[in-house]
Structure 1
Amino acid sequence: MLKIVLLLFLYYFNLMVETIGEAFSLGWRLKARCAYGKREGLKSIRECTWTYDLDMLTLVTTRGRDFPLAILASRLRCPRCGSRLVSVVFIPPADGDLRRGAA
């Protein structure tokens, strides 16, 4: 799965999508997951398994169309464990699913 997402990201990298507004207009989806590990110092802890599909319309409304995708993960927090270590996966649309001109 990760290889497929990485290959799709490299394929769509030529589009140079840098902002939330551009990603929204092209029909991209974003998925966030907690990246907090299984260890806290020398102790083993239960790994947080929180994942969520982020709503692009809400992100565009609250952050603005010019908000950079590169710093989005640094602005998120896991609602389950409170960790600031959150990974964001960018999922480009299928070839026939482009939403050009949306909002």
Structure 2
Amino acid sequence: MAETIGEAMDAGWDIRARCAWGRRDGLKSVRQCPWKHTLDIVTLVATRGRDFPLAMLSQRMRCPVCGSRRVAIAYLPKAEPPRVMTMGRN
């Protein structure tokens, strides 16, 4: 089980984010934000560092559509880790 984004990248995980702004704002009904996106894990590692904890990622996100700080993150491990080719071997 990966605990950092570097470990998640090495394991070949996908990271998906969606806006978690609900249908209510206090007592008012509001439209739910439709934003969702698969995050580029290589960019996350480049900007946050390999040792950045997965548990803190949702705290650092903001929805680009509505500006909400409520962003839900889903970590999706791959069934099989990616194959790494080395020189001289196939």
Matches of 2:48 and 2:82 in 1, distance apart?
Answer: 20
1:25 Cα shift?
Answer: 0.4
CA contact (8 A) 1:24 1:56 kept: yes
1:65 Cα shift?
Answer: 0.2
1:100 Cα shift?
Answer: 6.3
**Counterpart position of 1:74:** 59
Alignment of 1:20-35 (within 5 A): 20-35=5-20
Partner amino acid, structure 1, of 2:82: R
1:99 Cα shift?
Answer: 2.6
Say which of 4, 21, 27 aligns to 1:36: 21
Tell me the TM-score normalised to structure 1 length.
0.78
Matches of 1:72 and 1:100 in 2, distance apart?
Answer: 27
Partner amino acid, structure 2, of 1:47: Q
**Counterpart position of 2:88:** none
CA contact (8 A) 1:20 1:66 kept: yes
CA contact (8 A) 1:26 1:100 kept: no
**Counterpart position of 1:10:** none
Unaligned runs of 5+ in 1: 1-15
Query: Hey, which of these two has a bigger chunk of helix by percent?
Result: 1
Unaligned runs of 5+ in 2: 85-90
Q: How many residues align?
A: 84
Matches of 1:100 and 1:26 in 2, distance apart?
Answer: 10
The residue matched to 1:80 in structure 2 has which SS? coil
Report which of the two structures shows the higher radius of gyration computed on alpha carbons: 2
The 4+ residue runs of structure 1 with deviation greater than 2 A are none
